[in-house]
Amino acid sequence: MADLQTSIPDGSLDALFDGYRRFRKEAWPDLQRRFETLAEGQAPKVLVIGCSDSRVDPQQILGAGPGELFVLRNVAALAPPYAPDQSHHAASAAIEYAVRVLKVERIVVLAHAGCGGVKALFDGAPPEAFDFVVAWVNMASRARKAVDPALAGAERQRAAEEAVAGVAIENLMTFPWIAERVAEGSLALTGMHFGVADGCLRCRGQDGFWADVPTA
């Protein structure tokens, strides 16, 4: 099959087709019935807001199958504040669909270790990323105040990632139909953080403190 960008070698396309063939050979036989049922419609109970980072697939980390998670991924796993207008609000559109149409019961904000978006917020964005990335991550600029200035290195990075997840949750609460459902007890908001190198998942408790999720 021809690639429209003919100057690019076909290697990356071949890898995608190889992956598809592995999926059809290895996974599809077990999943076919589930997909046939899901073709009738989806009813996921959880919206995950994760980072676009290639290392942190929410479905893989949370062991979910098709139809179980409604996933929004963007730079730094952010949720913007409620701002209804005629602009192109990709994140808010996904949030509205999940909460108001699918009526999910939980929203998980899944932060992760080594997040380039959070690093851009705290240390500055790469010069090539100024059209959109800077304005996008700056929506969480108040997270800077939440990080202990005495922290450094990996400790500061993780504190920053957790603080940005906290801002995303605060922003979600500015959506009136989210705040209403949280108040009536039909929707819960949860922060999580995945440590890429160690595979460790941490979860933000109601008290705002983060703790490891036991593996067994």
Q: How far is the CB of 171 from Zn ion (least distance, A)?
A: 17
Nearer to Zn ion, 166 or 181 (CB): 166
Report, in Å, the least distance between residue 160 CB and Zn ion: 11
Q: Which residues contact 8 (CB under 8 A, 6 or more apart)?
A: none
Structure-block tokens of residue 214: 């036991």
Residue number, 55 or 89, with CB nearest to Zn ion: 55
User: Rounded to 5 degrees, what angle do the CA atoms 105, 110, 116 make?
Assistant: 155
Q: Which is nearer to Zn ion, 107 or 113 (CB)?
A: 113
Give CA torsion, residues 156, 157, 163, 169, to 10 deg.
Answer: -170
Q: Please say whether the beta carbons of 160 and 96 come within 8 A.
A: no
CB 30 to Zn ion: min, Å: 31
Gap between the Cα atoms of 57 and 71, Å rounded: 10
Q: How many whole angstroms separate alpha carbon 194 and alpha carbon 62?
A: 10
Question: Smallest distance from the beta carbon of 202 to Zn ion, in angstroms?
Answer: 15
Minimum CB separation from Zn ion for residue 53, in Å? 4
Selection from 86, 160, 83 nearest residue 95 by Cα:
83
| Cβ neighbour number for residue 159 with a 10 Å cutoff | 18
Where does this chain bind Zn ion (CB under 5 A)?
51, 53, 115, 117
Nearer to Zn ion, 115 or 167 (CB): 115
**Pure H helices in the chain:** 11-22, 28-38, 58-61, 90-96, 116-123, 133-138, 153-172, 176-183
Cβ distance to Zn ion smaller for residue 53 or 162: 53
Nearest approach, Cβ of residue 124 and Zn ion (Å): 16
Other Cβ atoms within 10 Å of 114 Cβ, number: 17
CB nearer Zn ion, residue 51 or residue 163: 51
